[in-house]
Structure 1
């Protein structure tokens, strides 16, 4: 201890000598200080607003998050400078007055009362640590402090100190410390919290709150007392802050969106900060819902979710599993990208195709009875049948036989073609042509596929290409038309009337559920006018799960998630031109959908030729005088085959009285394309699109 005054005096001499050396600049350039590179810091993944989603430990295993001074509570900064280095903003890296004061106090008390190191000198020691405490080490710190002050301004020096200061264990820097000890960013520190973070770097291991809570509290209260003595804070504030208990538990740093965060690192391995399109509050809410649901469902089931913005194609939340480190749930597998059977979740696209073709209207009657389609005999989920139901009821009740009837009429390959338009490439069984089973889940799609496909119902029939969540907004969010606006509006209108799950409040959304064969996958996809949210529940190993289904398992999670995102619900798209909601009482009597007789049943009337519209041909341009302003001629329709009477529908709306012969007239309402459909007495139909001018 006796050599300490000599050390301080010699250090002062060396400092003055260094400042006066003519060759200091050359020496400084030859031996620059080891200023840190950004690669020594933790990698961050932040959301669309810059909020921290996940941090990865630095290469040396330490949590070392970069600090910006404008993101730190200014009262904490003021307290730190007042406690550690009162003349920080004035000195040039070494404070002679502080060192003289420290030497004098040591002479008077026979021990070190206060140190003479500046914040810049402490930063030098942190950047170039040496275990020994010697004269040489002290001189080196002073020299390095002078070098650092020549290169960096005061704010940057303070930022580097607040990035590298030790706070116990492998925590370095005030951001990591604030998150680990208080669970929040240092922008909004309380007085008691700030005082603790001022005290910890002086003896980070002996004052760790999770191990030595009483020591941590004593050190914190000492900082508060000194601040009061110096007039920096009022004594009443000190009493209130000292009464605040010290948390004795270290918190985990944010680890939201683990699958997407890891993907961001793989895609951009050299970047330190990855900004993704997710919204932190929404992501956190969905992860909580997924975790709670998984706990209720059992140890082997996982939950995946994806929420997308229909207008931009951006992914706002993505939950790959119910827990990354959960071994029984195989939580490391990102189930948003694994092809699984969608069950009935593809049915809305079958109905959209049939509505677009003019084969049915929402109130058209369709049979739900046992049927065989070349040996394929679909059955309803509950093994019961409803008889004659409207198309609206068939979709809302997710009846299987009506969906297969419509798919047979619209052709399975056309359904796949429309899915391809949406950017969805379903996985078919090897060496198998698309058959009727694809309408009930006999195909593989991913959760992201389904969310992307369902965007057409909230986007007036146009596809929306979803981004990957990592590289930003897709280059072209709006793709090609998948279905007509009228058809997609009708489907949205039907799905908006589906009853919510039992015990769940109704929300202003439309939704559909699905359950795969063998109860392996449960789905629920919902949308409002701006967002599409998809939910998958099942086992990662595809094992069957008794009682797993979309309506009782996945749908409640969907509604809970929508309610807890905090997002404002937006109205579903309004009815486009030509879309009219027609009540059943206003439809012509006996308007039914008819398919070919079932195999094995009596074949009555098969000698009748198929129904065709022979004039005008499909796609024709017909001049009716609409553009000239003169007399407007009616459109002549000529039919072939089928059985009269014939019911004519223009753009999905019944027109006039039934035709008793195979020709008739229709008075067009305006210039442009019109969709004309004819349904005969047995429910068979034919449709064309013509341009009238």
Structure 2
């Protein structure tokens, strides 16, 4: 293009040029406003001129950006305008060249006024009988008018703009004046400045524009309301094409480029401004109301992907359900994505509520920390045996989610199957107060009922906690037991200091290794992540929190108003979202770390004797272990085993209570001694009475007599 580059070769007019300007100004006054009394003073003309603005402190929309400076969410100014900060080096040079070539070709050299243009405009004004034919305004004069905020109604207004333009040229550099125009130029409605216009009409930043887009953005400020594309697309097209034709005529644009640009459609509607990380961005702006730009640790690409995921999954679950997702870097604690709801403006699911900070019941999600404490205290190993049988703790009788008990299981299986009874038995041993204390070490803030001490109910969700806090707890487990401070970049993380660990490294790895074996949902593959699900009482909250080698992600699903959602659970509602969230990490995916020094990799039988079975440190608790009882068949009953061919089918003998391994006997002859099972089968020789017996590992036994036929 032949137009000069506004960002280069911009110099202050020399003293002789300023003197000529003043002479020209006097001549203009005499010729253009001859009816005005010459006694009018410049002081009177310039009365109440606004001060020269500082582009660096100009009132603009607050903007929240991601870690790379990409726009997440802008906010309107106090008077409701979209006026985003911008500078010429952030705008496509194509637009800058077209703007200057069309509006003010001598912008780089004039002193605010081009007298030849003003005299031409004055002559046209007189010849037309007092009607404006062409304005003759420079970009500087247009900036003066935009600052004053008033249209040019008469000669006096034009004269004020000329004087004001002179003040701007004296106080500011050319790039500053150009930046003021790029920020203040009107584009229809409450849109001001090229950046807001480019986002509103094209859905993109103005750093890369097509020829047609640049021409439209040059044309709109001349008649911002009459040419609004969303209301008057034909007028917008005509204005754009006029700019293209003018640029061709003055040699600033090739004819073939203009012809191609004219075939590009103009936008016919305004686009929504970016609204990513809406809750977190709003919180940041409220905390820093005077900031122009606030940078967060958010990754815009990941944030956008997880917001779409949350919205899509919430619709599949229930229209009243919301979904929250929080992702953070394990090492730094930087929050990479924060999805507060399934949609900020979704009224049906109360989208305005930020569910990453809402206090809810965590369900079973605290069980990993419970077992981690048992490992740390030397009470258990992942392969230690523990009983899953009905157990009462005073008036508190926990039951498993499905209502069934599994008998003797390993700690590993108790956690992967999320059994409630073993978890409460272990919590009774390590102490609820210790659990709450470790939660606080992880920078969580568990909420207990007023004036109450932690109870065993805490282990199964009887405490209030936020998604943010749960992610912090799991980040600590993933970080080798060391606490991780989650932060979003609005305030610097606290300085590194020696703090009490949440778990020791070996115990933290034991927990992570077990969680890597939790069966995945239908859309997941085993071993990809270490994760745990949870479902609060009454199906009010569904949770899934997991981590790989770099990232920890937490998911919550439910109704913000706390109304139950029948059938909603962690494994069916939240876990599929968690696995899809990890799929969207891209290059951030990393494998889980290997075992640390000191980890004991052994089967149950290979463990030291004290670790083979979980023993409650309270001897009274151990004494409550009941003697074995044959649960089936019952004493004195007749059992039908006949097959119709004269033979009998095998008889299954089941035992409850007692300590495995069990020895099963028929008429005094042993027929089975499984390692941990609480049942075994025996094939009788024929019909008749038989005495069945069982003896546990401590020598206690039980017998029943049955009739087989």
Smaller-chain TM-score range? 0.7 to 0.9
Q: Give the secondary structure class of the aligned counterpart of 2:219.
A: helix
Match of 1:250 among 270, 274, 280: 270
Q: Give a deviation string over 1:448-467, Cα, whole Å, max 9, x none.
A: 11111111122111111222
Distance 1:377 1:511 in 2: 27
Considering only aligned residues, what root-mean-square deviation do their CA atoms show, in Å? 3.1
Could you list the runs of 5+ residues in structure 2 that have no partner in the other structure?
A: 1-23, 34-40, 629-658, 660-696, 699-709
The answer for the alignment partner of 1:414 in structure 2 is 434
Match of 1:361 among 351, 360, 381: 381
Q: Indicate yes or no: 2:460 matched with 1:437.
A: no
The answer for the alignment partner of 2:209 in structure 1 is 189
Assess if the C-alpha contact under 8 Å between 2:477 and 2:503 holds in 1.
no
Q: Give a deviation string over 1:603-626, Cα, whole Å, max 9, x none.
A: 79xxxxxxxxxxxxxxxxxxxxxx
Match of 1:302 among 322, 329, 333: 322
Segment of structure 1 superposing worse, 157-166 or 595-604: 595-604
Match of 2:218 among 198, 201, 226: 198
Q: Indicate yes or no: 2:410 matched with 1:390.
A: yes
Shift of 1:285: 2.0
Q: Indicate yes or no: 2:612 matched with 1:591.
A: yes
Q: Indicate yes or no: 2:525 matched with 1:502.
A: no
The answer for the alignment partner of 1:691 in structure 2 is none
Match of 1:53 among 60, 66, 72: 72
Assess if the C-alpha contact under 8 Å between 1:286 and 1:565 holds in 2.
no
Q: Indicate yes or no: 2:91 matched with 1:68.
A: no
Distance 1:581 1:204 in 2: 73
How many residues align? The count is: 595
Where do 1:536-615 residues align within 5 Å?
536-566=556-586, 568-584=588-604, 586-587=606-607, 591-595=612-616, 602=626
Q: Give the secondary structure class of the aligned counterpart of 1:409.
A: helix
Task: Using structure 1 for the length normalisation, give the TM-score.
Answer: 0.80
Distance 2:271 2:29 in 1: 42
The answer for the alignment partner of 1:322 in structure 2 is 342
Segment of structure 1 superposing worse, 127-136 or 528-537: 127-136
Distance 2:586 2:177 in 1: 40
Match of 2:111 among 92, 95, 119: 92
Segment of structure 1 superposing worse, 209-218 or 462-471: 462-471
Assess if the C-alpha contact under 8 Å between 2:477 and 2:502 holds in 1.
no
Shift of 1:95: 1.0
Shift of 1:584: 5.0
The answer for the alignment partner of 1:346 in structure 2 is 366
Where do 1:99-138 residues align within 5 Å?
99-102=118-121, 114-138=134-158
Q: Give the secondary structure class of the aligned counterpart of 1:274.
A: strand
Against the structure 1 CA distance between its residues 478 and 456, is the aligned structure 2 distance closer, same or farther, given a 3 Å change threshold?
A: farther
Q: Give a deviation string over 1:381-428, Cα, whole Å, max 9, x none.
A: 122232322221211111111211211222222212222222223112
Against the structure 1 CA distance between its residues 261 and 445, is the aligned structure 2 distance closer, same or farther, given a 3 Å change threshold?
A: same
Q: Indicate yes or no: 2:290 matched with 1:270.
A: yes
Assess if the C-alpha contact under 8 Å between 2:145 and 2:151 holds in 1.
no
Shift of 1:36: 6.3
Distance 1:268 1:594 in 2: 54
Segment of structure 1 superposing worse, 209-218 or 377-386: 377-386
Task: Using structure 2 for the length normalisation, give the TM-score.
Answer: 0.78
Q: Give the secondary structure class of the aligned counterpart of 1:141.
A: helix
Distance 1:598 1:323 in 2: 52
The answer for the alignment partner of 1:283 in structure 2 is 303
Distance 1:169 1:440 in 2: 55
Shift of 1:506: 5.3
The answer for the alignment partner of 1:448 in structure 2 is 468
Could you list the runs of 5+ residues in structure 1 that have no partner in the other structure?
A: 1-5, 16-22, 605-642, 644-680, 683-693
The answer for the alignment partner of 2:677 in structure 1 is none
Shift of 1:597: 5.6
Where do 1:649-688 residues align within 5 Å?
none
Shift of 1:478: 7.3
Shift of 1:224: 1.9
Against the structure 1 CA distance between its residues 326 and 357, is the aligned structure 2 distance closer, same or farther, given a 3 Å change threshold?
A: same
Shift of 1:323: 2.4
Shift of 1:521: 0.7
Distance 1:351 1:470 in 2: 35
Assess if the C-alpha contact under 8 Å between 2:379 and 2:615 holds in 1.
no
Q: Give a deviation string over 1:490-521, Cα, whole Å, max 9, x none.
A: 11111112232113355732111110111111
Assess if the C-alpha contact under 8 Å between 1:379 and 1:400 holds in 2.
yes
Assess if the C-alpha contact under 8 Å between 1:372 and 1:598 holds in 2.
no
Assess if the C-alpha contact under 8 Å between 2:52 and 2:171 holds in 1.
no
Against the structure 1 CA distance between its residues 600 and 389, is the aligned structure 2 distance closer, same or farther, given a 3 Å change threshold?
A: closer
Where do 1:234-249 residues align within 5 Å?
234-249=254-269
Distance 2:281 2:117 in 1: 46
